[in-house]
């Protein structure tokens, strides 16, 4: 049978079924989809391919899903560090945003983020930022999968004047993207402390009608909870539950402050958590009790948050931090093992975003979102267990090739859809502009 | 004036004085030492050099000091993960060691470690393992600086039968290494639970006479303390203090369990801590209260621990984890800022090892232990603050060149003193041997 692409690999880690690592297997790709996963000896007999790739020192894994980003914030990478959340937001990030936010800012910042993500094996990102139309446009242009949040916040910005306008522009974008295979459009209300009940209620009705997920920062810091208790008499999760938002379409990011009863409620509701360990540490926001949440049956995905509070979009690093920190917080070295961390960064992300029928594992019928990681480097030798190395030893620079829906976006470390020299020039220009205020 | 090497750099971060980042400066090196640090325009007038290097997209930093390693354990990288300390040691690491430990094991494992460390910008490591003579020999051969621990443990191993023999072999090695400029030889009693009072007392006398530091695992887990309380009626730090060991020559590794009174005592004694955040997380050993220790004036250095419990020897990653985790544990986003993490990984290491007159910062008169980090990669753009990027955004793969005592060990990512193909072959052989037991 003649197909588009056949990748022969030393190892294939499909993630579904879990904890499997095939040796000397091949992945057959046609029309952007995985059509077979079989021993290489059989693949050579069964398929002829236009493109045959030999990844004989590599592990193939599903493309990584960064389930919480503010992509364009790469432009503010390292602009202000070592500050608590509200000081960092109010005195550094928000003033810079209010001065510089524009379609051009989002375009160039998102391009840098997409380049960094592809180079690091990320094939899908779940974004929340201004000008989501630009984010979607750039994702499509560069061939990466994206869940582009329809931002909603109470205060006026250059993107919209009020919550009606945010929703209106969001709906227009949703409509526009309806037939784009790489793009989904969840609602993205910023946080409990920045969106009113009324706006959330209107959004909830729309989300229900259109069957869209809802992506929101929730219980990021103790301060958020204390303030909301004072203002509303309720903890944010209580309030969101009363509004009917805690359901299988809800994606709560951060969740560092959780009572056991809240974990139980959240699990029973079938809602999702996105854990952002490095951002939570950097802003000293608190520790998400990941092992407890997983044990309660909650689907926990993984995200980097924006590059201004991380300061990278490195999902290899994030898997490692999640696995390490999960053990430290649980006081149990067997908590969040390597396979769990890899699942959080792939399949669990797809589940949270409602696209697990499309991506998140190397299963026949899913899109060919595939990453090749070269393990034949001194830093990952010897090799007893490739899954362990992917999480605990490999660096993102060991990613050599990346495919999204069968299209190759990284070829032997070279980006195929972005111009690095042009990006570097643009970064020099933005640096000059933003530096005035640093 | 004619000199050996002149490095022109976009940025130079000398670490001493702190928080300084020179732009367009040059480092002048002669006879293995730093003889000048000055603006490039002046350097071009003042010096002619045999080797002129242009690091015009790079930051120069002092060589990183990995203050706690078991270098040869690279051979067991990923051999057993996601297990608590005593299960991991007793059922996996110790059985493998007792079967395979030999001079050859230590030689090849140390070579892999040295290669990985040089590629990652580490120019000095503080080791504790069997066959320290082999470790020292390989460090000298490959040109890296090393503090090679004279191991002491109560039970017999292939290295020595009893504590007298450990000490005897240690003294012989110390003697042999006396005139090796790259090597120092602290005593390295394994841990409070594996070395008797009597052996510690004899070692203490010798350490005093010879003015050698003492490098020991201390308060690694709560379990260590509970057991020692049962067996001796004292917490390990109390016992070590009574034995007179807590003094400015003492290097305590881990220290995850600390009362405020112990921090005070330790600070007043002028002793040193080596923080190993990733190993502590991976083994769920507990959290070292780094910010508190620093605030109390304790010199805190940084180490990776062995590659079997990390699973890398990446000091860039370790700096980042130390900075992030330090904030999380202190519940203060301003704790362990980037400059502090970089200082822990350089100058504080040199202080702990008693070699701050030789290395640890880019000061005139010190050895030329220098690392060039290329910041002109998409992952570290834009650049508002090179010190922030070194800690929060750069990966060790951005290290392009490394000098130790003026000798270039890494040249545009190529190792100059190790044969990578030969190392890879050896790793295949060791993997085959150790795999039987996995």
Nearest to B82 among A75, A333, A395 (CB): A333
Q: Which two tokens stand for residue A108?
A: 């160039």
Q: Please give the sequence-ordered ranges of beta strands (E in DSSP) within B160-249, or none if there are none.
A: 183-184, 187-189, 214-218
CB A106 within 8 A of CB A133: no
Share of chain A above pLDDT 70, in %: 100
Question: A301-327: buried (b, 16+ CB within 10 Å) or exposed (e) per residue?
Answer: bbbbbbbbbbbbbbbbbbbbbbbbbbb
Chain A contacts of B380, Cβ < 8 Å?
A: 77
pLDDT at B437 over 90: no
Q: Which CATH number fits domain B2-62+367-405: 2.30.40.10, 3.60.15.10, 2.40.10.10, 3.20.20.300?
A: 2.30.40.10
Nearest chain B residue to A334, by CA: B82
Contact B81 A282 (CB under 8 A): no
B100-152 per-position pLDDT tens digit: 999 999 999 999 999 999 999 999 999 999 999 999 999 999 999 999 999 99
Nearest chain B residue to A381, by CA: B427
CB B67 within 8 A of CB B343: no
pLDDT given for residue A85 in this prediction: 78
Enumerate residues 6+ apart whose C-beta is below 8 A from B116.
A378, A379, B74, B307, B312, B313, B314
Name the pLDDT band for B436 (thresholds 50, 70, 90): confident
Name the pLDDT band for A183 (thresholds 50, 70, 90): very high
A96-131 per-position pLDDT tens digit: 999 999 999 999 999 999 999 999 999 999 999 999
pLDDT at B438 over 70: no
Mean per-residue pLDDT of chain A: 97
B331-381 per-position pLDDT tens digit: 999 999 999 999 999 999 999 999 999 999 999 999 999 999 999 999 999
Beta bridge partners of A399: A373
Q: Give burial (CB, 10 Å; 0-12/13-18/19+) of A376.
A: middle
Contact A334 B84 (CB under 8 A): yes
pLDDT given for residue A307 in this prediction: 97
Place of tokens 């109470």: A154
pLDDT at A176 over 60: yes
pLDDT at A212 over 90: yes
Nearest CA-CA distance, residue B388 and chain A, Å: 6
Q: Which two tokens stand for residue A132?
A: 């989501």
Residue to mutate among B72, B316, B318, B378, with most A CBs inside 10 A, is B378
The alpha carbon torsion through B135, B137, B143, B145 (nearest 10 deg) reads 50
How far is B297 from B248, CA to CA, in rounded Å? 13
Residue to mutate among B105, B278, B381, with most A CBs inside 10 A, is B381
What are phi and psi for residue B328, nearest 5 degrees?
Answer: -60, -45
Nearest chain A residue to B279, by CA: A324
Going by their DSSP bridges, the two strands B399-404 and B407-411 should be labelled as: antiparallel
Q: Which two tokens stand for residue B82?
A: 């996601």
pLDDT at A400 over 90: yes
Picking from A291, A239, A237, A289, the residue whose alpha carbon sits closest to that of residue A268 is A237
Residue to mutate among A319, A378, A409, with most B CBs inside 10 A, is A378
Q: Which two tokens stand for residue B205?
A: 């006398």
Beta bridge partners of B6: B28, B52
Mean per-residue pLDDT of chain B: 97
How far is B324 from A21, CA to CA, in rounded Å? 32
Q: Which two tokens stand for residue B403?
A: 């000098």
Q: Please give the sequence-ordered ranges of beta strands (E in DSSP) within A1-133, or none if there are none.
A: 2-12, 22-30, 33-39, 48-62, 64-69, 122-127
B54-65 per-position pLDDT tens digit: 999 999 999 999
pLDDT given for residue A374 in this prediction: 98
- Mean pLDDT for A270-282 is 98
A216-265 per-position pLDDT tens digit: 999 999 999 999 999 999 999 999 999 999 999 999 999 999 999 999 99
Nearest chain A residue to B87, by CA: A333
How far is B247 from B239, CA to CA, in rounded Å? 13
| Fold of the domain spanning A64-352 | TIM Barrel (3.20.20)
B265-304 per-position pLDDT tens digit: 999 999 999 999 999 999 999 999 999 999 999 999 999 9
- Give CA A3 to chain center in angstroms: 30
How far is B124 from B147, CA to CA, in rounded Å? 7
pLDDT given for residue B86 in this prediction: 82
pLDDT at B430 over 90: yes
Nearest to A331 among B115, B284, B430 (CB): B284
Contact B392 A78 (CB under 8 A): yes
pLDDT at A438 over 60: no
Is the Cβ of B331 closer than 8 Å to some Cβ of chain A?
yes
DSSP letter for B63, please. Answer: P
Residues 362-421 in A contacting B (C-alpha not used; CB under 8 Å): 376, 378-385, 388-389, 392-393, 395-397, 420
How many CA atoms within 13 Å lie on the side-chain side of A320?
Answer: 25
pLDDT given for residue A437 in this prediction: 61
pLDDT given for residue B89 in this prediction: 87
Contact B324 A282 (CB under 8 A): yes
Lowest average pLDDT, out of A387-391, B77-81, B84-88, goes to: B84-88
Q: Domain coordinates of chain A in residue numbers?
A: 2-61+368-405, 64-352
Residues 104-163 in B contacting A (C-alpha not used; CB under 8 Å): 112, 115-116, 119-120
User: What is each CA distance from B212 to B167, B170, B342, in whole angstroms?
Assistant: 13, 12, 26
> Do you know the residue count of chain B?
438
Contact B431 A383 (CB under 8 A): yes
A8-64 per-position pLDDT tens digit: 999 999 999 999 999 999 999 999 999 999 999 999 999 999 999 999 999 999 999
CB B336 within 8 A of CB B327: yes
CB A394 within 8 A of CB A57: no
pTM across the whole model: 0.98
Contact B78 A384 (CB under 8 A): yes
The CATH code belonging to domain A2-61+368-405 is 2.30.40.10
Share of chain B above pLDDT 70, in %: 100
B190-223 per-position pLDDT tens digit: 999 999 999 999 999 999 999 999 999 999 999 9
Contact B378 A423 (CB under 8 A): yes
Residue to mutate among B306, B382, B431, B432, with most A CBs inside 10 A, is B382
Picking from B169, B95, B179, B172, the residue whose alpha carbon sits closest to that of residue B130 is B169
Nearest chain A residue to B317, by CA: A317
Contact A281 B325 (CB under 8 A): yes
The alpha carbon torsion through B191, B197, B203, B205 (nearest 10 deg) reads 140
A381-390 per-position pLDDT tens digit: 999 999 999 9
What are phi and psi for residue A367, nearest 5 degrees?
Answer: -60, 150
DSSP letter for A124, please. Answer: E
- Mean pLDDT for B221-235 is 95
How far is B392 from B385, CA to CA, in rounded Å? 11
Interface predicted TM-score of the whole assembly (ipTM), two decimals: 0.97
């Amino acid at each position: 049978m003649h197909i588009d692409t056949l990748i022969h690999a030393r190892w294939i880690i499909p993630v579904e079924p879990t904890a499997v690592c095939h040796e000397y297997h091949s992945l057959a790709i046609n029309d952007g989809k995985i059509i077979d996963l079989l021993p290489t000896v059989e693949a050579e007999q069964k398929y002829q391919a236009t493109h045959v790739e030999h990844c004989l020192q590599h592990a193939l894994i599903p493309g990584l899903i960064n389930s919480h980003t503010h992509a364009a914030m790469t432009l503010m990478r390292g602009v202000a560090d070592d500050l608590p959340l509200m000081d960092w937001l109010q005195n550094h990030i928000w003033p810079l945003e209010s001065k510089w936010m524009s379609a051009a800012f989002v375009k160039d910042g998102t391009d840098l983020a997409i380049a960094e993500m592809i180079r690091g094996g990320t094939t899908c990102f779940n974004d929340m930022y201004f000008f989501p139309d630009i984010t979607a446009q750039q994702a499509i242009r560069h061939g990466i999968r994206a869940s582009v949040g329809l931002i909603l916040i109470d205060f006026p910005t250059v993107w919209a004047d009020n919550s009606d306008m945010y929703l209106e522009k969001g709906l227009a974008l949703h409509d526009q993207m309806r037939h784009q295979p790489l793009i989904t459009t969840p609602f993205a209300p910023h946080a409990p402390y920045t969106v009113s009940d009324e706006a959330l209620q209107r959004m909830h009705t729309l989300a229900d009608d259109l069957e869209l997920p809802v992506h929101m920062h929730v219980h990021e810091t103790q301060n958020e909870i204390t303030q909301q208790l004072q203002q509303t008499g309720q903890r944010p999760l209580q309030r969101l539950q009363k509004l009917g938002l805690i359901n299988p379409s809800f994606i709560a990011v951060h969740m560092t402050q959780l009572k056991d009863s809240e974990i139980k409620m959240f699990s029973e509701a079938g809602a999702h958590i996105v854990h952002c360990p490095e951002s939570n540490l950097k802003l000293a926001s608190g520790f998400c009790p990941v092992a407890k949440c997983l044990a309660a049956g909650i689907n926990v995905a993984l995200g980097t948050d924006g590059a201004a509070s991380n300061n990278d979009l490195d999902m290899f690093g994030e898997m490692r931090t999640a696995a390490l920190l999960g053990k430290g917080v649980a006081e149990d070295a067997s908590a969040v093992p390597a396979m769990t961390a890899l699942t959080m960064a792939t399949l669990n992300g797809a589940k949270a975003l409602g696209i697990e029928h499309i991506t998140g594992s190397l299963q026949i019928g899913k899109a060919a979102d595939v990453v090749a990681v070269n393990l034949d480097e001194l830093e990952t030798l010897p090799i007893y267990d490739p899954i362990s190395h992917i999480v605990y030893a490999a660096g993102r620079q060991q990613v050599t090739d990346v495919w999204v829906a069968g299209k190759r976006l990284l070829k032997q470390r070279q980006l195929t859809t972005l111009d690095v020299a042009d990006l570097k020039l643009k970064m020099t220009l933005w640096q000059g502009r933003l530096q005035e205020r640093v």
